[in-house]
Structure 1
């Protein structure tokens, strides 16, 4: 359903552009895609698509707000340092997400299904969230792995799954904003990537073959001025 909604959204974007240029060609109205601040759509549209596909996360929400702020800076005649607001927006987005997750987790029966080397605690029903915000973070999973949410914002994050037990298909959602993520996966596991790139991308390295009956890691990601390496 989410994929269908994102396709509808992208279809509407192209439809509006096509109708706009068609009307301009027959002199019904003036239309140009290159309006003031048009380049901010390169940030706004992929972040919206990511939110529709994968739900709201820190990276896509922050990217959307930053894009809207940069677009507004071209039209709002207020003496505000929009660039100076980017960092506070990132912290506000992270803070709001932590607060909302705290309320939501009260209704969840927590199961300690993922154990991180050197770190104890419960991470919900088989799914964890790891972030690197203006820093580096390295995680090694040595127990059963059933998915994770990854965020690298002005930082670097490493998720090592080479010793993890993957006994079902799993999903990893990942967002990079001026950051990078390295994911080490066990041999023989299939990898399927659905990425929304904004001056970034996903690279799959040294993955020559996989077992025909192996489980699959589905990576749904947004890379904004950053990248993800699967090794």
Structure 2
């Protein structure tokens, strides 16, 4: 993904340089400082993020915000209408994400449900106005449910025994969750975020077990390292 991001940013910079050069030689007359040009600093990074980042919802919302601001600067919309339209647009985007998640299934929820149906138990970590530190060194790990409400949860799986696909359900509401995973594990994320997000800094490994992570972030965040 880093290579794709570098290529896309390179294309953007080359295009900007070419336009500036053509303007200097009077071959073209493109005003790059049009009304609302600064909104491109919101729109372009979010557009690139759609191709380079695993979680798309935040980038889609960012593009929506940038486009609405640009339309206001171009006097197509008024700033008084901005919040009236922007809030419903964000709600619709989040709603669509939830619908698609429901239609196409959620692997993490399926794994957790299967563990409980078979009489197994998932690890539970909950921090409410406090902190919670979970360490699974030498333990067989199949699934966990982590909740941080005005608090923080740290889940260390780096030395856990992961023999097959497993799952983690997360909920971060005005709180944060840090998940540390082994280097030879895949991580797939499915989330619904409102003014929050999930950051997945892991790499892809072929033919390796996968940790499926799903959950909700509201004014909170989850970081997977």
The normalised TM-score by structure 2 is 0.56
In structure 1, the residue matched to 2:176 is 158
For the aligned residue pairs, the C-alpha RMSD in angstroms reads 4.9
In structure 2, the residue matched to 1:117 is 125
User: Where in structure 2 are there 5+ consecutive unaligned residues?
Assistant: 116-121, 127-141, 204-219
Per-residue CA deviation, residues 191-210 of structure 1 (Å, 9 max, x unaligned), is 9689xxxxxxxxxxxxxxxx
Answering whether residue 67 of structure 2 is matched by residue 72 of structure 1, we say no
User: Where in structure 1 are there 5+ consecutive unaligned residues?
Assistant: 119-125, 184-190, 195-225
Q: 1:36 and 1:171, CA in 2 relative to 1: closer, same or farther beyond 3 A?
A: farther
Q: Please report how far the alpha carbon of residue 14 of structure 1 lies from its aligned counterpart in structure 2 after TM superposition.
A: 1.1
Cα distance in structure 1, aligned partners of 2:93 and 2:178 = 27
Per-residue CA deviation, residues 28-79 of structure 1 (Å, 9 max, x unaligned), is 1223432211111111111112111124522111111111111122225345
In structure 1, the residue matched to 2:92 is 92
In structure 2, the residue matched to 1:82 is 82
Cα distance in structure 1, aligned partners of 2:186 and 2:69 = 36
Native 8 Å contact 2:176 2:221 kept in 1:
no
In structure 2, the residue matched to 1:222 is none
Cα distance in structure 2, aligned partners of 1:29 and 1:5 = 30
In structure 2, the residue matched to 1:23 is 22
The normalised TM-score by structure 1 is 0.55
Task: Select the structure of larger CA radius of gyration.
Answer: 2
Task: Name whichever structure is richer in helix by fraction.
Answer: 2
Cα distance in structure 1, aligned partners of 2:34 and 2:147 = 36
Aligned residue-pair number: 179
Native 8 Å contact 1:59 1:175 kept in 2:
no
